[in-house]
Amino acid sequence: MDPVIIEEGVCHMYPVLIGLMGCGKSSIGKLLAKELGITFLDLDHYIVEKAGRTIPEIFAEDGEEGFRDLETEALREVLGSPVVIASGGGVVMREENRVMLEAHSPVIWLKSSLHFLAGRIQGDENRPLTAGRDALTVLQQLAEIRYPYYTRCADYILHRGQMNKAASLHAVIEYLKQWKYECERGEVLSQESCMELDSFLTAE
């Protein structure tokens, strides 16, 4: 994303984590929330609690579109709250959601290899899009569709590679420090600056 001007006084560090299923949004999000001293919110869990149904049940009864309706409503309710949000992998599929995410900084894409993600989620029956299917094949199809949307919405892309949770958390926190500094000066880090920061962190 290109640099955008942020109004004075709205540099609240309430990150949103995006990325494909299994990339660590929830696990890293919980650690990040603890570091920032704010609440962690898993958007899928928020939807489940509001609906009183599991995600597989929602998909079975209302279809994916019905789930996406609930997801958009939930995102609208929680975005901008003093929380770290771990979004669902498909949150970027709707234009309305993308517009909301683009207007809210910082948004962080946790990007991992598809083979790594497939190994983590294969056989997880709580994921309707991959249940009973080859996870790698599904992820390859999803990546082709979603990666351009993740790129559009993200202020920072963390290429996890071989990073464990601690190293990933460190990289995100270092980015947020620089984001906060730049935001208070009246601008958000450009994607080029983020790439330079990412190269520095992965070289450490």
We report the CATH number of the domain holding residue 177 as 3.40.50.300
The reported pLDDT for the residue numbered 5 is 31
Sheet of 16-18, strands arranged across: 39-42, 83-86, 16-18, 107-111, 156-159
Q: Where are the alpha helices (DSSP H) in the chain?
A: 25-36, 43-51, 55-78, 95-102, 114-121, 135-153, 165-184, 191-203
Q: What is the pLDDT of residue 189?
A: 52
How far is C-alpha 65 from the geometric centre of its chain's CA atoms? 20
Residue 10 covered by a domain: no
Would you say residue 35 lies in a domain? yes
Does residue 89 have a pLDDT over 70?
yes
Q: Which of 156, 150, 147, 153 is nearest to 200 (CA)?
A: 156
As a whole-number percent, the residues of the chain with pLDDT over 90 amount to 67
Q: How far apart are CA 121 and CA 117, in angstroms?
A: 6
* Residue 130 within any structural domain of the chain: yes
Total number of domains constituting the chain: 1
pLDDT for the residue 122: 80
The pLDDT score that the predictor gives to residue 77 is: 95
Nearest one of 202, 201, 200, 106 to 155, comparing CA atoms: 106
Radius of gyration of the chain (CA): 16
Q: Considering the domain boundaries, does residue 1 fall inside one?
A: no
pLDDT at res. 199: 47
The boundaries of the domain holding residue 137 are 16-203
pLDDT for 130 equals 73
Whole-angstrom Cα distance, residue 8 to residue 28? Answer: 29
Q: How many CB atoms lie within 10 A of CB 92?
A: 25
Whether 135 maps to a domain, the answer reads: yes
Query: What does the alpha-carbon distance between residue 128 and residue 57 come to, in Å, rounded to a whole number?
Result: 9
| Cα 146 from chain centroid (whole Å) | 12
Per residue in 155-202, pLDDT (tens digit) is 999 998 888 999 999 999 999 999 988 887 876 554 444 444 444 344
- Answer yes or no: is 152 within a domain: yes
Give the model confidence (pLDDT) of 42-78 as tens digits. Answer: 999 999 999 999 999 999 999 999 999 999 999 999 9
Q: Say yes or no to pLDDT of 153 above 50.
A: yes
Q: What is the pTM of this model?
A: 0.84
In a domain, 186, yes or no: yes
Residue 5 lies in a domain: no
